[in-house]
A and B are shown apart, each in its own frame.
Chain A
Amino acid sequence: MSHGPSAPGVAASAHAHDAPYEPVFTPGSARSKELADLITRYPDKRAALLPALWMVQNDRGWISEAAMMEVGDQLGCTAAYVKGVVTFYTMYHQHPVGKHFIQVCTTSPCLCAGADKVVEAFLEHTGCKELGLTSADGRYTVIEVECLGACGFATPVQINEDYVENVTPEKVPEILAGLP
């Protein structure tokens, strides 16, 4: 992640470990235009909050407190309000995560298929010491996720955007080797 100079009006101090925050929705930027277009789909611009947070996470990798302030300013709500929303949903990262964010489904149908062993295999082969921690090389973060809605293809694993289906512990090294 690269960081430009601190932007005026956005407190860099809001998050110590991500010092200068580079705004996503600078006037005239593609993201700014995208957000403006998106707002026209709804009678209330606050409805664009989840999509706006997705844009931030897509560009920055996670959603810092400074980002929450920026999004709040864009949509006419406070940073505290935005934080309340961010913390409700499991997919928004409130801290940086590994380059490959690996979510292993372990809900009931996948447990039948041995998803717990898939989790162990990912933890072992990525070098992530425990669930939620990022590997020392910054490549991987592994978490358990609740039902991915692909129960007929147990065990499904979501790696960043993509689903990998029918994962068994034996397939884990090959899957990891195939990641960029």
Chain B
Amino acid sequence: MGYPHKSHPRETPILSKHFGEPEARTLEGWKARGGYKALAQALHMEPVAIQEIVKASGLRGRGGAGFPTGLKWSFMKIGDGKPHYLCANADESEPGTFKDREIMRWTPHALIEGCAIAAHAIGAETAYIYIRGEFTEPINVMEAALVEARAAGIIGKNAMGSGRRVDVWVHKGAGAYICGEETALMNSLEGKRGNPRIKPPFPAVSGLFGMPTTINNVETLAAVPHILNNGAEWYKAMCLSNPKSTGSKLYSVCGNVAKPGNYEVVMGFSFKEFLYDLCGGPLPGRKFKALIPGGSSVPTITIEEAEATIMDYEGFVAQGTMLGSGGVIVFDDAQSMPRQLARIARFYAHESCAQCTQCREGTAWMTKILERIVAGEGTFEDLDTIFDLSEAMTGKTICVLSDSCGAPVVSGITKFRGEFEALIKGRRSSTVAVGAR
């Protein structure tokens, strides 16, 4: 469903099928929609068998990195005698992204079921759903659904009578974008500052409380029950282009577009059709100019590049950007790219955890330069400085927040250099004018 709009016939609503239906939030309503059949089946399967089905489906992480989910699960050594943990990453804070919020507030049991299946598949008895603190409504909906699921014995010490223990708890964050980074999330859950950790060790070896841990995005987990119900082949068949990208994907569309909202399409869909047909095209009298298609951390592309894009992991890479979280930010011809990119840089400067020098200093410096240019006080050398700076900020820090600041900015300057130069030249001409008086 193109929530909050009516579903478009070209969508493939699987995760979003019940968005907007209040009854789907209740246990009874969810069971009436086929809920918890997959979990009942999974609890009587060997963990490795579940991993194999998910591997065969081709499901890849929907949080941004696109790592194969079944493979990630297989890194967990079943029977090593240690407690294992699952974390559901519901810290959705990537600018442009608002899909997990809808999954949680409309279909909380889909996430609970996905968590319980995944927990069993990785040999964990406990799953924590880490939800950003601002998401009060999704937290309340999730808590209410968990109370129902616990009371019905679906989760708990004897999940669905299987003799297996599966506990699922909500953990509320307190405002920090960086806690969506998986190691920062674990630190935050442990009651620490949300600083990312150096890897290795990777979470599957030493994660939450020092124990083997898997972190999956909400959308990834919500897809798992469907895969178990319908089979890996069914999921794999949802692919119009590259076989490495399978299934349906929720895209959050926002910015200067006629119908902002969430849209679910199969992998390999045409971005041109998506933007002009499903999302209703630009606002009246406007034209699309640029997009940041995977949440604000990925490179900026022009509308011409977007129109040539195939919507899957490889298709976005082919246009020099990334699918990321699927948060599509659209800018039309009335927007100033320097102003928008300065605002994005400010976001990263605000959210830097400040552990690494390149990030702490770099994000703030880049913001300062961009805001100077926007204010009409920039120089041509400033553009060179930004390129140098971005290079020093990329691939040199504990996590990728620093890289994420440079990616949309540098690509944006490269593709819309004229707008930056006009602001800089404007400064020079006004200086001349003042001098001439």
On A, residues with C-beta under 8 Å from B are 41-44, 46-51, 53-54, 75, 77, 84-85, 88-92, 103, 106-109, 111-113, 145-154, 158, 161-163
Contacts and interface: CB of A to CB of B under 8 A. Distances in A.
A166 B134 CA distance: 17
Given A54-B174, A88-B176, A150 B101 contact: yes
A151 B327 contact: yes
Give the most central of A75, A113, A150: most B CB within 10 Å: A150
B340 A146 contact: no
Given A108-B329, A147-B93, A158-B134, A54 B172 contact: yes
Contact of B172 (A51, A145, A149): A51
A49 B174 CA distance: 11
B193 to A, nearest CB: 4
Interface residues on chain B, size class? 35 or more
Nearest to A52: B191
Contacts of A42: 209
A152 B261 contact: yes
B344 A151 contact: no
A151 B263 CA distance: 14
Contact of A163 (B126, B137, B339, B350): B137
Interface string B142-177: 000000000000000000000000010101111111
B183 interface: no
Contacts of B93: 146-147, 149
A146 B176 CA distance: 9
B209 A44 contact: yes
B404 interface: no
Interface of B: 4, 83, 92-98, 100-101, 126, 132-137, 167, 169, 171-177, 188-194, 209, 252-256, 260-262, 292, 296, 327, 329-331, 335, 339-340, 343-344, 347, 350-351, 353
A47 B189 contact: yes
12 contacts: A44-B209, A47-B191, A54-B172, A89-B176, A108-B296, A148-B134, A150-B101, A152-B252, A153-B4, A161-B136, A162-B137, A163-B137
A90 B133 CA distance: 10
B145 to A, nearest CB: 17
Contact of A112 (B252, B256, B261): B256
B95 A152 contact: no
A105 to B, nearest CB: 9
A55 B422 CA distance: 52
Contact of A151 (B100, B175, B194, B329): B329
Given A53-B174, A75-B191, A151 B260 contact: yes
Contacts of B261: 152
A146 B137 contact: no
A152 B194 CA distance: 27
Given A85-B192, A89-B194, A91-B134, A149 B97 contact: yes
Contact of A108 (B253, B340, B353): B340
A162 B344 CA distance: 25
A77 B193 CA distance: 14
Given A41-B126, A75-B191, A152-B254, 15 more contacts: A50-B191, A85-B193, A88-B194, A91-B133, A108-B255, A108-B329, A109-B95, A111-B340, A112-B335, A145-B134, A146-B93, A147-B96, A149-B135, A151-B327, A152-B261
Contacts of B209: 42-44, 47
- Name which of B132, B193, B262 has the most chain A CB atoms within 10 A of its CB: B193
B188 A108 contact: no
B329 A162 contact: no
A47 B344 CA distance: 32
Contacts of B347: 107-108, 146-147
